[in-house]
């Protein structure tokens, strides 16, 4: 194995561990409280982001244009779009991780079946997909609410 590959694996494992630490689950929550919380988060993209991704977003940090984009995709499951937000406005974080996981969490099966994301290069695609994989493997909150969703092998 190449040194660069070993370094990448170590960095990825560190990311999964950081996500795991940031997403502790309350053991005091009742089943009814959990169901109510999940239903509330499925309706509100900003709250969903704040709860499941505290390592990326602080309370009130999700911008109106990010919420609007997520809601537009929820309302229009056959939507096709090119997004050009300014550098630093979290295009990749929202469109490659947060919005897909929010849409996937929706109870209506017609909301989200397939999403195709296109990047500028294979290296970029691998990085973005590995971030999503790290969330699915390390995010205790998402796993507690939606179960394990990891497939082994090549992503």
Tens digits of residue pLDDT in 4-55: 778 888 988 999 999 999 999 999 999 999 999 999 999 999 999 999 999 9
- How many CA within 13 A on the CB side of residue 109? 0
**Rounded CA gap, 78 and 3, in Å?**
43
Task: Kindly report the pTM of this predicted structure.
Answer: 0.87
């Amino acid at each position: 194995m190449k040194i660069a590959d070993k370094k990448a694996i170590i960095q990825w494992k560190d990311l999964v561990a950081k996500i795991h630490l940031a997403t502790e689950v309350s053991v005091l929550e009742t089943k009814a409280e959990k169901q109510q919380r999940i239903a509330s988060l499925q309706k509100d993209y900003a709250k969903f982001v704040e709860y499941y991704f505290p390592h990326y977003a602080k309370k009130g940090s999700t911008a109106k244009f990010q919420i609007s984009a997520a809601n537009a995709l929820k309302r229009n499951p056959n939507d096709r779009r090119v997004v050009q937000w300014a550098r630093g406005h979290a295009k990749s974080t929202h469109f490659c991780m947060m919005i897909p996981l929010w849409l996937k969490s929706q109870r209506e099966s017609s909301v989200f079946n397939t999403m195709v994301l296109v990047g500028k290069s294979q290296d970029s695609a691998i990085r973005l997909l590995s971030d999503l994989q790290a969330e699915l493997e390390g995010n205790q909150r998402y796993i507690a609410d939606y179960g394990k969703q990891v497939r082994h092998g090549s992503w």
